[in-house]
Amino acid sequence: MKPPKFAYLRPQTLAEAVKALHAADGDGKVIAGGQSLIPMLNFRLLNPGVLIDINRIAELDFVRVRADGGLDIGALTRHHTLETADIVRERFPVLHAAMQHVAHLAIRNRGTIGGSITHADPAAELPLMMVLLDAQISLVSSRGARELEAQEFFLGPLTSAVEEDEIVTQIRLPGLPQGAGWAFEEVARRSGDFALAAVGVVLHVDAGRVVEARVGVMGVGDVAQRMFEAETILFGQTCDESTLDDAVASVRAGVEPSTDLHASADYRRHLVGVLVRRALKDAWNRATGALHAGN
């Protein structure tokens, strides 16, 4: 299918893009990698009067190290950059690992972090990474700038908090504790497909006990979500089998998967528990040195 007719603008600066989006008065759409937007146009699910192409805006394309060891990532950063950049691999190996599962190389060459999180697919890896890594997301419009926590950014399936006149500019990832263990686990029917379910874990262990646990899941609800009850169960523990049993049971009780063509809700609920157990074991082993932290 072909997209409906639209006007096309290619601003060179962020200020020009903000102005163009404001002028479109609700009838404009930002286009970044186009990997989700173009299919939606082709299927006539959207019918914007004007596309505002942000690909020439160099000020949106960066990955910078922060003083706290974290990263500031421009909205136009391509998936392939996140997959291959050494500073991402060193500082956020869990993000580096997750990026290997995003679609196929041709799509990762074009797709952007800003586009993926704005699109807010419930089975996409980057929204999961945002909630796992406590990202802060910066937006700008002609009304001014604002910043949202990842927890308030994802509102529902294919629905983010980005207003029709707003542009995502930057994603801030606060630094992780030194030596934190991590793991990413995903099951998809074929390599590159959207996930049936996936799990990200970060564990900070001190003196043989978990002092901070983060457990994020996706594919098993309307949005990627943190499993706060499981995190509380893990706090102060050693990831022994009984603690893992309790954490897994809590995750299975806390998700609301749906049945679709690819898998039943029961299967997804079972699967996410299996993935949480695997991920917690790996993260624990990395944090305690049983697995090399960079592996």
Ligand X SMILES: Cc1cc2nc3c(=O)[nH]c(=O)nc-3n(C[C@H](O)[C@H](O)[C@H](O)COP(=O)(O)OP(=O)(O)OC[C@H]3O[C@@H](n4cnc5c(N)ncnc54)[C@H](O)[C@@H]3O)c2cc1C
Distance CA 168, CA 145 (A): 10
> Residue 133 or 239: which CB sits closer to ligand X?
133
Q: Are 175 and 168 in contact (CB under 8 A)?
A: no
Distance CA 148, CA 144 (A): 13
Which structure tokens are listed for 177? 């504790």
Query: Shortest distance, CB of residue 244 to ligand X, whole angstroms?
Result: 28
> Residue 41 or 283: which CB sits closer to ligand X?
41
> Residue 98 or 276: which CB sits closer to ligand X?
98
Q: Are 104 and 188 in contact (CB under 8 A)?
A: no
Query: Shortest distance, CB of residue 157 to ligand X, whole angstroms?
Result: 13
Distance CA 199, CA 264 (A): 18
Query: Shortest distance, CB of residue 247 to ligand X, whole angstroms?
Result: 25
> Residue 64 or 209: which CB sits closer to ligand X?
64
Distance CA 117, CA 112 (A): 9
> Residue 186 or 282: which CB sits closer to ligand X?
186
* CA 98 vs CA 43, 164, 187: distances in Å: 29, 29, 12
Query: Shortest distance, CB of residue 115 to ligand X, whole angstroms?
Result: 2
Q: Which residues bind ligand X (CB under 6 A)?
A: 29-37, 39, 54, 75, 102-103, 107, 110-112, 114-116, 118-119, 124-126, 162, 167-168, 194
Query: Shortest distance, CB of residue 75 to ligand X, whole angstroms?
Result: 4
